[in-house]
Structure 1
Amino acid sequence: MIAIELFIVLAFIYLGARMGGIGIGLAGGAGVLVLSLFLGVDTGHIPVDVILIIMSVIAAISALQVAGGLDWLVQLAENFLRKNPKQITFYAPMVTYLMTLLAGTGHTAFSTLPVIAEVAKEQGVRPSRPLSISVVASQVAITASPISAAVVFFSDILENHGVSYLTLLSIAIPSTFMACMAGAFVANFIGCELKEDPVYQQRLAQGLVTTNAVTSRHILPSAKLATAIFVVAIISVVVYATLISDSVALITHPSLSRNDAIMVFMLTAATAIVTLTKIDASKIPDAATFKSGMSACICVLGVAWLGDTFVAGHIEEIKAVSSELLGRFPWLLAVVLFFASMLLYSQGATTTALMPAALAIGVAPLTAIASFAAVSALFVLPTYPTLLAAVEMDDTGSTRIGKWVFNHPFFIPGVVTISTSVLLGFIFGQLLLG
């Protein structure tokens, strides 16, 4: 039966991937129906906290976007990149990494990709180089963001194993950032120079390559205040989580758990933004970040529920097969997470579906933390929204998807980034955890 059930899980994941968008979440729910109703499998745990955290964070970010805060941040990013255009391949992923770290969602990269492509063209740099690693950096940074659903969920289960929220961030942030720089170094040598690219020359001759600079944005007067409120909320989350942690324990009997605190702080930030900047709250559901965030909730609901339904029903069998293998080769967990996230299209969904099972079968916390970045292999299949946006925004044709599906400019920088992050995670983790 376990083979049949696994086949059903994979079949519905494949169906969801073919549907695209929130299809992976819809198909996940359908898979749960088949497993439970027709095969008698008890339904697994619904990641309610993860979904609620995503909703709360997205509400605050959407309010920030309506108030003009995201436009102001993108303007700052553009100014930074134009002052340092020669090193665009290294500075662009820094920008997308930091924006994701701040916002807890990689979809903030949408706003910066046109700027990256334009600055690269102006300098004669092959746009595929900074665009590819920038997309990868925006995905990997999810595993280091203090307010991302993946980090919050993972830190919650790690606390049962003696690892605090602050310790997780202390390992994840430096390892993922340094890994992104390693990926940028590799990306800088991929592909011929732009002027030597025959596809670019052909498009240039046909007049398909624009040379106009990105138009300046109209920054609303409320942008800076809204951004300040959002940043204060993030700092408050980190400080509060530190104060209630077992390692600090300055608040020994907190009235709010860390998960509840994140939701409260984010919703309060959204309230403050709407009240103090006087934006129209009815515009928040129409914001692009709100729509993408709610889609992410559906994806996490369906896929994580499907994964947990299968894993929970066969945890003993999985323990028997995996514990010895992972004990001998702990890095295999990163490989499993890599391929799972490639199909699940969500760091949050992959984390909630597999990390509890990994720790339950005896995987050491150090191994789990070091492997955490591998849940960001969303770049492997060239169908993720930010990846497709990068391809669309590069009118030079250098950021193109090959006919063999996997031969696209995101693959090698992405694999290098995740591999380096896992390696650094083991190194930093060993230093902090002993």
Structure 2
Amino acid sequence: MAVFEVVVQILLFLLPLVVGAKYGPMALIGASGLSVFIMVEVMRLVPGQPPISAIFIVLAVISATAAMTAAGGMAWLVQKAESALRKHPGRIPLVGPLLVWLFAIMSGTGNITFALVPVLYEVSYGAKIRPERVLATANAVSQLALMASPVAAVTYVFINLTETDGNTLGKTLAVTVPASLIATVLASLVMSRYGKELDDDPEYQRRLAAGEIAPPAPTSASGEPVELRPRAAWSVYFFLAGVVIGCVLGLFQRLRPTYPKLLPDGTYADVAVSMSFMIPIVMFAVTGAIMIFCRLKTAAVISEPIIGTGLIAALLLLAVPVLAGTILNAHMEAVTSFVGSAIGVTVMLFALLLFLLASLIQSQVASLTILVPAAAAAGLGAGPMTGMLGAASGNNLLASMGGLGQACIMTDKTGSTKQGSILINGSFLVPMLLCSGFAIAIGLGLQLLVY
């Protein structure tokens, strides 16, 4: 009977993942709720708890990003990036992904890459460079860079989960920033030679001969001027100010307020306000400052597409970790024993599990929320886990089915950027594996110096 119940619980966990892979994240959320209902109401398991701090962080960061976008800040950033790319079109296989890395770190979201895709394609094609090399790498980097962003929700969720092990923002960024940057450069260099040259690509030559695409023409030093909203640049300045304040508060704990906390032995101790609270408050303050100074109405902010993305992310954190937590509550001892013995053999198991979980759930935050507590309970330290955060970019395994992947495929008129016959074997698989592999290898080395 016990074996039967375990099998049913495993099926109830896997079923939402299968449904989500076929019908999308909202289906995953709904199916997770159904599974939790069955496990709690019928099987009488103790329900898992939603990670409220993580949801708080996600909503705050998304609100600030949406306000900056509505104020024209994203358009201002893209305009600056376009100007830089057009000045040196031949270097776009390296410069393009590096700009994506920088913008994703500054904004805390990979969605900014949507605005850069047309520019990356136009400049690369104008320089007679296979667009797939740039677009596919940029797609992978947009997710990898989030591990190194001081305002990305995934960064602070991870710190919140590992702060009891002495982890801090400074230590995390000291590993993830150089690891992701070097991984971006190495992956870009490898991808700069990936695939056939356009002159040797039969599909491109067919489209060119059929008149489906015009021959490449050199790009001008500057694109068409884009009219920006008044004070668009200021929205970026406010956002970056929030980033700086968050970094300073994370690096220097003494700057955060303290309050007396009752300890189990009946005594009180002064405890600093956690970064999982300070970061959302700072980013909500940034949202307010942008809306007031740039004279934005609520309708303008909530109409931004990134609000929908943030809502999906928050709902995933309400559903999937509760589903996993409900099962873990019933089997924590067995799971901890397994993970502990396996991690004792190889810490790389954490990277493999994180990669697979992220690819199934399609959420970096939810994957870390599920896996980190189990790995920590099994004895894996914050240092090795930080070094392997690049594995969370496994959420990009089905990139060809995602919005950004489809944008790259449809924008590339040469046909070089492909979806693949089995979803994962398209243009995005190789750069994603390169970015993740390089980041893990470099991160594990760096964490030995930092932790």
Q: Distance in 1 between matches of 2:126 and 2:110?
A: 26
Distance (Å, rounded) in 1 between the aligned partners of 2:128 and 2:419: 21
Matches within 5 A, 1:317-332: 317-332=334-349
Q: Which residue of 1 aligns with 2:267?
A: none
Q: Secondary structure at the match of 2:112?
A: helix
Alignment-derived partner of residue 406 in structure 1: 424
2:258 counterpart residue number: 253
Task: State yes or no: 1:51 paired with 2:55.
Answer: yes
CA displacement at 1:251 relative to structure 2: 4.5
- Superposed CA deviations along residues 260-311 of structure 1, whole A, max 9, x for unmatched, are 2111111111111111111223211101222222222122222222222222
Taking only the aligned residue pairs, the percentage that are identical comes to 27
- Residue 66 of structure 1 pairs with residue 83 of structure 2: no
Q: Secondary structure at the match of 2:396?
A: coil
1:418 pairs, out of 426, 429, 436, with 436
Residue 2 in structure 1 maps to residue 11 in structure 2: no
The answer on whether the counterparts of 2:339 and 2:374 sit within 8 Å (CA) in structure 1 is no
Q: What pairs up with 1:168-247 in 2 under 5 angstroms? A: 168-209=172-213, 215-244=224-253
SS in 1 for 2:426: coil
Summarize deviations over 1:54-90 as a string: whole Å, max 9, x none: 1111111111111100000011111111112112111
In the alignment, residue 257 of structure 1 is paired with which amino acid? S
CA distance in 2, matches of 1:80, 1:30: 50
Q: Which amino acid is the alignment partner of residue 147 of structure 1?
A: V
Contact 2:168 2:250 in 1 (8 A): no
- Equivalent position SS for 1:290: helix
8 Å CA contact 1:26–1:298 kept in 2: the answer is no
How far is the alpha carbon of 1:24 from its aligned partner?
A: 2.5
Which one-letter code corresponds to 2:281 in the other structure?
A: V
User: What are the equivalent positions in structure 2 for 1:307-326 lying under 5 Å apart?
Assistant: 307-326=324-343
CA offset digits 1:81-116 (Å, max 9, x no partner): 111211211111111111111111111111111111
State which of 305, 310, 324 in structure 2 corresponds to 1:288: 305
- Partner of 1:347 in structure 2? 364
Unaligned ranges ≥5, structure 1? none
* 8 Å CA contact retained: 1:156, 1:165: no
Deviations 1:89-144 (A, max 9, x none): 11111111111111111111111111111111101111110111101000011111
Judging changes above 3 Å, is the alpha-carbon distance between structure 1 residues 252 and 271 closer, same or farther for their aligned structure 2 residues?
closer
**Partner Cα distance (1:186, 1:307) in 2:** 38
TM-score (norm 1): 0.95
Q: CA deviation at 1:25?
A: 2.5
User: Does 1:363 find its partner at 2:367?
Assistant: no
- How do residues 60-139 of structure 1 correspond to structure 2 at under 5 angstroms? 60-139=64-143
> Match for 1:427: what amino acid?
G
Judge conservation of contact 1:58–1:289 (CA < 8 Å) in 2: yes
Residues 326, 209 of structure 1: alpha-carbon distance in 2 compared, 3 angstrom cutoff: same
User: Is 1:383 aligned to residue 401 of structure 2?
Assistant: yes
1:220 partner SS: coil
Shift, 1:221, TM fit: 2.2
Q: Kindly report the root-mean-square deviation, in angstroms, between the aligned alpha carbons of the 2 structures.
A: 1.7
Describe the SS at the equivalent of 1:22.
helix
Alignment correspondent of 1:31: 35
AA aligned opposite 2:299: S
CA-CA distance at 1:338 after TM superposition = 0.7
**Do the aligned partners of 1:16 and 1:28 also contact (CA within 8 Å) in 2?**
no
Question: Matched residue of 1:6: which SS?
Answer: helix
Is contact 1:159–1:165 with CA below 8 Å preserved after alignment? no
Instruction: Look up the SS of the partner of 1:363 in the other structure.
Output: coil
Q: How far is 1:374 from its partner?
A: 0.6
Partner of 1:396: 414
TM-score of the aligned structures, taking structure 2 as reference length: 0.91
Indicate how the Cα distance of structure 1 residues 115 and 22 shifts in structure 2: closer, same or farther if over 3 A, else same: farther
Q: Which moved more, 1:353-362 or 1:24-33?
A: 24-33
Contact 2:50-2:317 within 8 A present in 1 as well: no
Which has the greater radius of gyration? 2
Q: 8 Å contact 2:36–2:322 — kept in the other structure?
A: yes
Contact 2:242–2:282 (CA under 8 A) maintained in structure 1: yes
